[in-house]
A = this chain, B = another copy of it.
Amino acid sequence: VSDTRDRLIEAAARLLDKGGPAAVTLRAVAERCNVSHNAPYKHFASKADLLAAIASRELASRPNTAEPRRGDALTRLRQLMHGYIRWARARPARFKLTFGPWSQGTDELKDAATAARQRLVEAVAAAMKAKQIAAGDPERVGYLILALAHGAADLALGGHLAAAGKGKADAEDLVDDLLAILRRP
């Protein structure tokens, strides 16, 4: 609602991208918005509250932009997950924050999470209907694919995935592996 509030969130998110969690101080955020160092307390109860607002906005906006428009059901599902991984790689600090201890709490964030999950489940159901992957509970299979993409992205960020030699696989490869396995024989 408040203009300053939005600017504070944006400035904080930008500091997060630039210098990691340690760079996000209320003083630096305030300075970047040309307000006094404790003006943020008029918009957020605490620093944790500001971080939660970033996570909430991120979860609400990110999956929408990554939504593909064309292609068959399986292709759309695949692109949805590749978009998820691309987001994690492009904004690792926001990705970590979104699934950190701030994820509990506000209704705004819960609604965003529900909406994102719903889009995934619909993509899975469409792929099942088109008989491009084996029939089953779309919600359960959706969680399976999401958990894999999330884990692959998180491991990749820490450098725990890129092995040398024949086993070499990046996060996108692992998503494709799972989708290939889920295909009907």
Interface residues of A (CB under 8 A from B): 20, 96, 99-101, 103-104, 113, 117, 121, 137-140, 142-144, 146-155, 157-161, 163, 165-167, 169, 171, 174, 177-178, 181-182, 185
Contact = CB atoms under 8 A, between A and B. Distances in A.
A73 to B, nearest CB: 19
A139 B178 CA distance: 15
Contacts of A101: 20, 158
A68 B142 CA distance: 30
26 contacts: A20-B101, A99-B155, A99-B157, A100-B158, A103-B159, A104-B158, A121-B167, A137-B166, A139-B165, A140-B167, A143-B167, A143-B169, A144-B148, A144-B169, A144-B174, A147-B148, A147-B152, A147-B174, A148-B151, A150-B154, A150-B155, A151-B152, A151-B153, A154-B154, A181-B181, A181-B182
Contacts of A146: 151, 155
A101 B158 CA distance: 7
A147 B157 CA distance: 12
A173 B160 CA distance: 24
A96 B100 contact: yes
A48 B96 CA distance: 18
Contacts of A157: 99
A85 to B, nearest CB: 11
A135 to B, nearest CB: 13
A139 B158 contact: no
The 4 closest A-B CB pairs, nearest first, are A151-B151, A139-B167, A150-B151, A147-B151
